[in-house]
Each structure stands twice: as structure tokens, then as C-alpha cells.
A and B are shown apart, each in its own frame.
Chain A
Amino acid sequence: MSRLRLALCASTLAALAACGPAPIDASHQIGPNPYLPPLHQYLLPPMKLAKVIGWQAGQTPTAAPGLRIQALASGLKNPRSLYTLPNGDILVVETSGPEAPPIRRPKEWVMNWMEKNTHSTQQGHDILLLRTDGHGAVLQKSVFIDHLSSPFGVVLVGNDLYVADTDEVLRFPYQTGQTRITEPGVKLCDLPGGPIDHHWTKSLTASPDGTKLYAGVGSNSNITENGIPAEKDRAAIWEIDRATGAHRLYATGLRNPNGLTFEPQSHVLWAVVNERDELGPDLVPDYLTSVQYGGFYGWPYSYWGQHLDPRVKPQRPDLVKRAIVPDYSLSSHVAPLGLVFDTGDSLPPQYKGGAFIVEHGSWDRTQLNGYKVVFVPFGSGRPIGQAQDVVTGFLTSDGKAHGRPVGLALDASGALLIADDVGNTVWRVTAG
């Protein structure tokens, strides 16, 4: 009897672990018309994260032919986003998530345990300033602003430097050449923060005329499992008036929008969006999209237009009907967190005007996806053609991670900078 029970339990667990569709080739999900398999709800969702082993001296990621990659700065504390000031100084946001709330469900014990060793052990809550010689050598490194609260987005408008902490937008006075700001920030407006704060990175950019700020506010859950009230004003891009701090929801239904950037030719706002988990290894594709004012992009009710998500109750057919299909799929679970258009002159000409996108990498599919920087060519303000790998080699052949790319910027010379949070490095990619 006991043996029978044991055998039953063991075989049930084995069957649970084994079930679930096999991943398809990610290339079927690159571009405007991704293949969308039937959705699959797991009994035991796969979790596979790359254990972090760091970079040895001299090791670098691999740049595409025609490009060269070197470390600009290392030994950082969880660098997650980058911003270049007009005088060429580079801001590195060293940041970590806010303290996690008490667990809500038994599942979270298991997930927290599985995610051990896959994040940086360093904690950062500040912004560093790097002054370079313009050719990849750091001349001076200083703490620019400290005592921030899970900062992420940074944007300068005139002499006003805005920093998006996880729960507010702060304004700091900045004079060209300054290497440290000691004045306290002045709050421009609150952002949705704790106590749950599931997606805590608040991306930030300014309109081309400088009158408005745009903040990406990610959802407070995977798919409303923390309750619908917790999602108030989230999964949205906020438009914030610089003069008054008043805000309105510019676009909604964007589960976790990051990399907010105005496309330089069309002056339209673009973002990369992290879509939902646990519907299969190839659902739902993360994407790159232009963002329309008043647009609804599906989350939580539907994905990729009108594909309903059965996990959301009550449904909202009125919203689903007008859900916008995103512009460009990047394939599933790649976790795009940064976007920058090549507006410089120093990278090879095929990159001119196109979009670099950084993919932090998957955690919930058996074959790792992402963990690289890709390039999507643009023409007339729209993606034209297949995404190409630009920087790879963050993973070892046996699936461990030297680092994970997470933030992008161009420096004053037009070189591409990549923040690597678990590798605690900023990489610089130049022609060569």
C-alpha cells in the first residue's frame, strides 16, 4: 500500500514535470507576424535561469562582425540603466529592486529559491558619473546622486535632471560639467510603488519639445494574481506635465513597458514590452512597438491583439475589441529592457537609424532565450526587416551566465554602451 502510494506520487510528479509543449525555434516569432502556438497552462511551469559566474579578466561578450567590444567600467553594483549627458559624461544607474513584500502564495517559496544565484548580490541605489576620454578610457568616476530608491529612468531637459525612482519622479538641478549633485531632489509626481511593486523599473523619457515626460509603469503581477485593484494606473505609460507634475495615462495594456524612446525621424514614442508568463515557452512574445496616445495593448485581458487570456476574470470585451496589435515581435520571454536608436555617426552605416534592443533573458522556458543585444533596422520610422544579433556571448555553452545585458545608451562618440547588471560591467561597442 505504501509502495503503491509512493509510486503513484512519484509518477504523478514525473508526469507533471515532463508535460508542456516543446519550444519552437525563436526565429518564427521575430517580426510583425509572429507564429502564436495554442496556449498551454502548466501544472508545473518550467523555470530555468542561468547561474551567474561573472567575467574573468579579459573575457568579453561577442560583438557582430564589423564591431568591437570592450569593458568601459567594471566592478559596479548592479548597473541597470545608462544615460549620456550633453557634455559626454555617462550616468550609470546602479539599482536594485525594493524589498520584496511577504509572500502571498506557497509557490513563491519555490520561485524565490529557484531564482537564487541568478541575480546580482550587489545592491545599488545610486547614480554614478563616468567621465571618459571619448575613446573608451574612464578618466574620472564619481557618485553623482546617491540615496535613491530603486532608481531606473533618467532624462535631462535643459538644466533639469529627472530621475524615476520606483515610487516617484524627482527633479535635480544640473549644470554642465557637474560631477556630483548634493541638493535633494524635488518631487515632480508620485509613481505607483509598493508594497507589492512587482515590476519596479520605471523607464523615463521626455517629449522632443521637452514639455512632457513619459514614464513606463509595469504591472503589479504576472496576470492579475495580486488582485485587479493592485493594477490601478499600472501596465501603462504615464504622460507627466513637466510644469505642473499632473499626469494622465498616455497608453495602457502594456504589461511592462521599458526603453521609452522617441523615434528620431517620426518623433513617435516607441517602447519594448515584457509580456506575460506561464502560457507556454512561446507565449506570449515580448515586443517592440510604437505607442499611440489612448492606445490599449491588451494586458491583462488579451495578448497580441484579440487573443483572450483565460486567467483574467472578469473579462473586458469592450477593451479587447480595440486592443492594438504590437508592431514587432522579439520572440517569447526574451525580456527586452532597453531600446536606443542609432543616431550617432560612428557605428557601421547599416545600423544608422535602426533600433538596438537589449534582452535580459528568459527564466521560464527550458531553452534560454534572449541574453543578447539585437538590432532591428528602421526605415521611414518603421521596422524594416529581420532582427540581427549584435552582441552575444553572455551565456556559456553549458547555460551559465557571465552577465546579463539590461540597459543601453549611445555615448557622445556614437558608440553603443551596454549595462550588464549581473556582470557588474558597462560594455562599449565601437566600429572596428
Chain B
Amino acid sequence: MADDHPRATARIGGHPIHPMLVPIPITCFIGALLADFAYWRTADIIWGDFADWLLTLGLIVSVFVVIAGVIDFLGERRIRALPQAWIHGIGNGIALVLAIVDAFVHTRDAYGQLPAGLILSLLVVLILLVTGWNGWDMVYRHGVAVNPERRP
């Protein structure tokens, strides 16, 4: 039977990798924003340190998320045909570059990471809202990577 769903190319045991990993950096980057906000309000350095670690962890996992995402994008013509996939990919690319700059800003000592760190963390999360929406659009509306045999 013809598979009518765009397939994820990067899989482990049939499970698509990209949607499995992507919640980790998203959670980290949202956590970094909250921690930056708390540092801005309290000037307690522990929040600045939290933001620093969350950004670093988010970026490390993002490497694998990007690899899996790019493989899926290149491996399936029907994914490349979706405008959501382009918005998702380009938007996340921009978010990632901003997050890298943000991580460097967070190497500054003490309150030197503000306000630039807070602004960058906020921009990253705002972009993720758009690209995340488009990502789920691909799954829910276009069935990207959904297993056809399990579909009711």
C-alpha cells in the first residue's frame, strides 16, 4: 500500500528522532528566559548561572535536533514542498544563531549579561513560538512522520 504520509528519514526503531528531541532545547530556552527574568528582578547570581547552563544544554542538544531535522528535510520531497517546513527550518536557524550569541553574552561576569542576555533569550523564545507552531502544523495537519498503519 502506498504510504500517504511524508516520512521522517532520521529514525530509531521506526520512531522519528527530531520530534523526540526537540522538546529538550525548547524547554531549556524557555527556562533560560525565565531565569534571566529572575536575575534581572532579583540580581541574585544563581539565576544568571541557571540561564547559562540551560542555554549551554539547549545548544548541545540542538546540534542533534538540527542534524535529525535536516536529514528529514532533505530525505523527503513532500516535506520540502511544505511552506511550514521552510518557515520552521529558517526560523529555527535564526533562533539558534541568536541562542549562540546569547550563550556568549552569558559568559560575561555577573550583571554584565544583562540586558542583552534577557533580550536575546526573549527573542529566541518568540521565534520558537512561531517555528514550533509550524512544526506541529506539519505533524497535525500534514501527518509528517505519522505512522500510517496506526492511523484510525
**Chain A contact residues, CB within 8 Å of chain B:** 1-2, 4-5, 8-9, 12-13, 16, 41-45, 104-107, 221-227, 278, 310-314
Counted as pairs of residues, one from A and one from B, with CB atoms less than 8 Å apart, the total is 82
Contact in complex: A43, B66 (CB < 8 Å): no
Partner of B56, one of A16, A42, A106, A314: A106
Are the CB atoms of A225 and B109 closer together than 8 Å? yes
Q: Which 7 A-B pairs have the closest CB atoms?
A: A311-B112, A225-B109, A313-B111, A43-B104, A313-B43, A106-B56, A2-B70
Contact yes or no, B52 A1, CB < 8 A: no
Q: Are B107 and A1 in contact (CB under 8 A)?
A: no
Is B97 at the interface (CB under 8 A from chain A)? yes
Within 8 A of A (CB), among B15-49: 43-46, 48-49
Q: Which of B56, B105, B109 contacts A43 (CB 8 A)?
A: B105
Supply 8 further A-B pairs (C-beta < 8 A) apart from A43-B104, A223-B110, A310-B112: A1-B90, A8-B97, A12-B100, A12-B101, A16-B104, A106-B52, A224-B109, A311-B108
* Smallest CB separation, A253 vs chain B (Å): 16
Residues of chain A within 8 A (CB-CB) of B90 are: 1, 4
A16 to B108, CA, bound (A): 13
Q: B45 — which chain A residues lie within 8 A by C-beta? A: 224-227
Q: Tell me the smallest distance from the CB of B148 to a CB of chain A, in Å.
A: 26
Q: How far is the CB of A17 from chain B (nearest CB, A)?
A: 10
A227 pairs with B46, CB closer than 8 A: yes
B44 touches A4 (CB 8 A): no
Complex: A311 Cα to B110 Cα, angstroms: 6
Complex Cα distance A223/B101, Å? 22
A225 and B47 alpha carbons, distance in the complex (Å): 11
Contact between chains at A12 and B97 (CB < 8 Å): yes
Contact A312 B52, beta carbon cutoff 8 Å: no
- Contacting pair B111 A310 (CB below 8 A): yes
Q: In the complex, what residue of chain B is closest to A221 when comparing beta carbons?
A: B109
Please state if A9 and B44 are interface contacts (CB–CB under 8 Å).
no
- 9 A-B Cβ contacts within 8 A? A1-B70, A13-B100, A44-B107, A45-B107, A225-B110, A226-B45, A227-B46, A278-B108, A313-B110
For chain B residues 48-101, which have a beta carbon within 8 Å of chain A?
48-49, 52-53, 56, 66, 70, 73-74, 89-90, 93, 96-97, 100-101
B107 with A314: CB separation less than 8 A: no
Q: A5-B66, A16-B104 are in contact. Are A224 and B93 (CB under 8 A)?
A: no
Question: Looking at chain B's contact residues, is the secondary structure mostly helix, strand, loop, or mixed?
Answer: helix
Report the bound CA distance from A224 to B113 in whole Å.
Answer: 13
Interface of A is mostly: loop
Taking Cβ atoms with an 8 Å cutoff, the residues of B that contact A are: 43-46, 48-49, 52-53, 56, 66, 70, 73-74, 89-90, 93, 96-97, 100-101, 103-105, 107-112
Of chain A, the residue at the smallest CB distance from B100 is A12
Tell me, rounded to whole Å, the shortest Cβ–Cβ distance linking B135 to chain A: 15
Please tell me if the beta carbons of A105 and B100 are within 8 angstroms of each other in the complex.
Answer: no
Contact A104 B110 (CB under 8 A): no
Residues of B within 8 A of A5 (CB): 66, 70, 93, 96
CB–CB A311/B52 < 8 A = no
Residue of A nearest to B89 (CB): A1
CA gap between A45 and B107 in the complex, in Å: 9
Q: Which of A4, A41, A43, A314 has most chain B Cβ within 10 Å? A: A43
Bound-state Cα–Cα, A355 to B22, Å? 62
Nearest residue (CB) in B for A104 is B49
Shortest Cβ distance from A42 into B: residue: B108
Please measure, in the bound complex, the distance between the C-alpha atom of A343 and the C-alpha atom of B24, giving whole angstroms. 66
- With A8-B97, A105-B52 as known contacts, state yes or no: A44 contacts B104, CB within 8 Å: yes
Q: Are A8 and B101 in contact (CB under 8 A)?
A: no
Tell me if A227 and B44 are in contact (CB < 8 A).
Answer: yes
User: If A1-B89, A1-B90, A16-B104 touch, does A105 touch B49 (CB 8 Å cutoff)?
Assistant: yes
For A9, A222, A313, which residue has the most chain B Cβ atoms within 10 angstroms? A313
Identity of the chain A residue whose Cβ is nearest the Cβ of B116 in the assembled complex: A41
Instruction: Note all chain A residues with C-beta closer than 8 A to B89.
Output: 1
Q: Cα distance A221–B101 when bound, in Å?
A: 24
Question: B107 — which chain A residues lie within 8 A by C-beta?
Answer: 42-45, 105-107
8 Å CB contact of A312 from B49, B93, B108, B110: B110
CB neighbours (8 Å) of B101 from chain A are: 12, 16, 43
CB distance from A364 to the nearest CB of B (A): 12
Query: Within the complex, what minimum Cβ distance (angstroms) separates B46 from chain A?
Result: 7
The answer to whether A278 and B111 touch across the interface, beta carbons within 8 angstroms, is no
Whether B52 lies near A9 (C-beta < 8 A) is no
Interface centre among B44, B70, B104 (most CB of A within 10 A): B104
CA distance A44 to B105 in the complex (A): 8
CA distance A310 to B73 in the complex (A): 45
Specify the chain B residue showing the minimal Cβ separation from A4: B93
Residues from chain B with a CB closer than 8 A to the CB of A104 are: 49
With a cutoff of 8 Å between Cβ atoms, the chain A residues found around residue B103 in the complex are 106
Cβ-defined contact, A107 with B110, below 8 A? no
Bound form: Cα–Cα A226–B45 in Å: 7
Give the complex CA separation of A44 and B104 in angstroms.
Answer: 6
Give the Cβ gap from A288 to chain B, nearest Cβ, in Å.
25
Partner of B112, one of A9, A41, A105, A106: A41
When distances are taken between beta carbons in the complex, the residues of chain A under 8 Å from B49 are 104-105
- In whole angstroms, how far apart are the Cα atoms of A43 and B106 in the complex? 8
